[in-house]
Structure 1
């Protein structure tokens, strides 16, 4: 199946009461592992890449890699730009035919966030979904951390969403980027944000959240949950264990295949946790 619009993923998940995992790819092994898991479970999904991870290849290579693998996959998948910190990154992803983008100006003042996020909305062709962020999510992603983390203010949510015209809203409600084992969702705050938001919500930083919290997110208008650190850890651990077992190992394909399997297991477990109704 060809890549689908991010809007298609949002509509299907909201209509079926599902939560789309959004999994960061970095290379061919990660992509293969993600798609293998998607095929096992059958839940519509986002595959995403952050600008920090296209430095090696560029957006076009990521598009080619993902779209080629998805040609034999029957599950709807959208290709998403994660944490576009500039309009230039949004432009680059759109030029490469990404079907969903995120503009993240959450570290800037409210009015500036609206101004730049609205411009990103104007740049998106019909059908390309836009995610924006209100409230700055803490923790580190690719060793990049916000200067100031802050919770999402429910009183600003409706005004922000209506002014920007975004299709999804990323929120800061106790979630943190990277592997943050002490992170916890403030469900009271999340419920207040949900009550004010005209669009579905997005939770970043799922790698550090306990499974029992992830399993509740569908109750709070969450349509998309980002997972990155767990996948990267699975791949690095797989290669590290191969080296520890045999420092003279030279079969890269065997080690890479093991890494794909490890990534697939992590992705499948996350999708099932996010969707308790899926058998």
Structure 2
């Protein structure tokens, strides 16, 4: 199956009442593992990569790897830019073949956030690609950025933000956090209030560490997409770490990489299955 358009994936998920996981990749092994896990579970989702992780490759390389990983795929999978840092990153990914985009200008003030998101939306919509934006700010470490603020999404700003930007998905801050070093404290009443005001589906970043029952309840509040990065990275890195601890002379990169693919794919399959129960 080819890489699925983001709008088509969103519509497919809504029609079948699926929660869409977005799994972060960095390299070939992670990309193949995510595709394998989603196919094993026979459930749809996203392969995504952040602007920061594109330092190790480039948009064209990730598109190529994703196409190869989906060659024998039977489930709808889109390719998403996670935390797009700049308009230039957005353009590069759309031009390369990404089918879904996030522009993250949440660190800016309200008006500047709107300005940056709308610029990305105008470009992406010309090519039929949906855009995710973020309103509010999460605590924790996302890639190379550490944020200590806890600026939850203000429900009173949601309608105006979505209307002015034209975004298609809204990432919210409701006590969810990035990484595994801070305990998330998801405010479900706040999420419910936001869902009643938002004209578009919602996204929760920092899915790793959030209790599954919380995610499952959040499905009632127009939550369509939930991001998982740390769980998969931990499965990948620990494969090499455990082998090294067992034998400091271990150096078979191919064997450990294949084992890591299996471990990550199992993690992805388990996660997408649990959140859709």
Judge same fold: TM > 0.5, yes or no. yes
1:129 corresponds in structure 2 to: 130
Q: Distance in 1 between matches of 2:248 and 2:64?
A: 34
- After the TM superposition, list the runs of 4 or more consecutive aligned residues in structure 1 that deviate by more than 4 angstroms: none
**Offset of residue 181 of structure 1:** 5.2
Q: Report matched runs for 1:19-34 at 5 Å.
A: 19-34=19-34
**Offset of residue 11 of structure 1:** 0.6
Normalised to the residue count of structure 1, the TM-score between the two structures is 0.96
1:259 corresponds in structure 2 to: 260
1:119 corresponds in structure 2 to: 119
1:3 aligns with 2:3: yes
After superposition, what is the alpha-carbon deviation per residue over 1:223-243, rounded to whole angstroms, capped at 9, x for unaligned? Answer: 110000111111110001111
2:162 corresponds in structure 1 to: 161
After superposition, what is the alpha-carbon deviation per residue over 1:102-161, rounded to whole angstroms, capped at 9, x for unaligned? Answer: 011111111111111001001113421100011112211113123633000011111111
Secondary structure of 2:270's aligned partner: helix
Q: Distance in 1 between matches of 2:166 and 2:101?
A: 13
Q: Distance in 2 between matches of 1:147 and 1:39?
A: 37
| Contact 1:218/1:275 (8 A) holds in 2 | no
1:208 aligns with 2:209: yes
Normalised to the residue count of structure 2, the TM-score between the two structures is 0.96
5+ residue gaps in structure 1? none
**Offset of residue 180 of structure 1:** 4.0
Number of aligned positions between the proteins: 276
2:46 corresponds in structure 1 to: 46
Q: Distance in 2 between matches of 1:106 and 1:251?
A: 42
The alignment's C-alpha RMSD in Å is 1.2
**Offset of residue 91 of structure 1:** 1.3
Secondary structure of 2:274's aligned partner: helix
1:71 aligns with 2:71: yes
5+ residue gaps in structure 2? none
